[in-house]
């Protein structure tokens, strides 16, 4: 079945630093989404990408849909303490379901 | 506007019992999906319902079933609970139309099976 490899698994950064994380797939996806999950809550949608090569921003967050359609990247600029959480990528291929990565846990030191 | 709501928030059950989890989608959303999230993992797709019909099913045993009601709310049922069913169960809703894959999640129901 489809699997997503998300890296890194965890990141420890200083406030103000930029962050990059990525997601790769063994198969092609038609849609990529990025979510953030905080303890005790459901994932919150950050960015949705629908076309290969698409670059989309949401405030300090920027995500790109890879041109091979097998990868996606999320960048966070000038991190702040409230960026702490687990970031998940999710892809949608030929069916209705979303396939999620295992997450990148972000810790921001003030 | 209210987001996706789920009930109950927490639940403790014994092996072999049955459980029903409930979800109300965002107003105007006609599609509901269910996911299981075990600790340290991303959500795993269980079901999607659109207009009361099953549109997709993940790799889960027949002990898992769901349905969607005329008001688009949904129930997830799990029979003969196993210890391994302990997880956060997430419901997500999405609009119809072009961007149906923008799924919005509720806070989840934490199920513990003892």
**Per-residue model confidence (pLDDT) at position B101:** 77
- Tell me, yes or no, if B97 comes closer than 8 A to chain A by beta carbon: no
Chain A to chain B Cβ contacts (< 8 Å):
62
Do B59 and A1 lie within an 8 Å CB cutoff? yes
**Per-residue model confidence (pLDDT) at position B97:** 56
* Helix/strand number for chain B, H first, E second: 0, 11
In this predicted structure, the answer to whether residue B98 has a pLDDT above a threshold of 70 is no
Contacts of B56 in chain A (CB under 8 A): 95-97
pLDDT tens-digit readout, B40-76 = 999 999 999 988 899 889 999 999 999 999 999 999 9
pLDDT tens-digit readout, A18-28 = 999 999 999 89
Going from the C-alpha of A45 to that of each of A87, A90, B14, B30, the distances in angstroms are: 10, 10, 34, 18
Using an 8 Å CB-CB cutoff, list residues of chain A that contact chain B.
1, 4, 6, 31, 33, 35, 40-45, 48, 50, 88, 90, 92, 95-103
**Per-residue model confidence (pLDDT) at position B51:** 87
Contacts of A50 in chain B (CB under 8 A): 99
Residue A42: partners with Cβ closer than 8 Å, 6 or more residues away: B4, B90, B92, B105, B106, B107, B108
Cα A51-B91-B14 angle, rounded to 5 deg: 145
**Per-residue model confidence (pLDDT) at position B114:** 97
Q: Reduced to 3 states, what is the DSSP secondary structure of residue A82? A: helix
Integer Cα distance of B59 and B52 in angstroms:
20
**Per-residue model confidence (pLDDT) at position A3:** 72
Is residue A86 very low, low, confident or very high in pLDDT (cuts 50, 70, 90)? Answer: very high
Is the CB of residue A87 less than 8 Å from the CB of residue A24?
A: no
């Amino acid at each position: 079945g489809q699997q997503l490899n998300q890296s890194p698994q965890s990141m420890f950064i200083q406030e103000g630093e930029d962050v990059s994380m990525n997601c790769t797939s063994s198969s092609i996806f038609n849609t990529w989404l990025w979510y953030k999950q905080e303890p005790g809550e459901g994932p919150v949608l950050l960015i949705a990408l629908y076309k290969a090569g698409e670059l989309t921003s949401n405030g300090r967050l920027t995500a790109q849909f890879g041109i091979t359609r097998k990868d996606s990247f999320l960048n966070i600029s000038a991190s702040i303490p409230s960026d702490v959480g687990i970031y998940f990528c999710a892809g949608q291929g030929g069916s209705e379901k979303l396939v999620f990565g295992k997450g990148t846990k972000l810790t921001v030191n003030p | 506007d209210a987001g996706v709501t789920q009930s109950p928030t927490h639940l403790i059950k014994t092996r072999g019992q049955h459980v029903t989890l409930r979800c109300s989608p965002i107003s105007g959303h006609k599609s509901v999906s269910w996911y299981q999230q075990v600790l340290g993992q991303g959500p795993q797709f269980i079901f999607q319902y659109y207009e009361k019909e099953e549109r997709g099913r993940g790799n889960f045993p027949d002990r898992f079933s769901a349905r969607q009601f005329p008001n688009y709310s949904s129930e997830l049922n799990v029979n003969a609970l196993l210890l391994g069913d302990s997880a956060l169960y997430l419901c997500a809703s999405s609009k119809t139309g072009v961007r149906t894959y923008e799924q919005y999640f509720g806070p989840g129901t934490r199920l513990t099976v003892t």
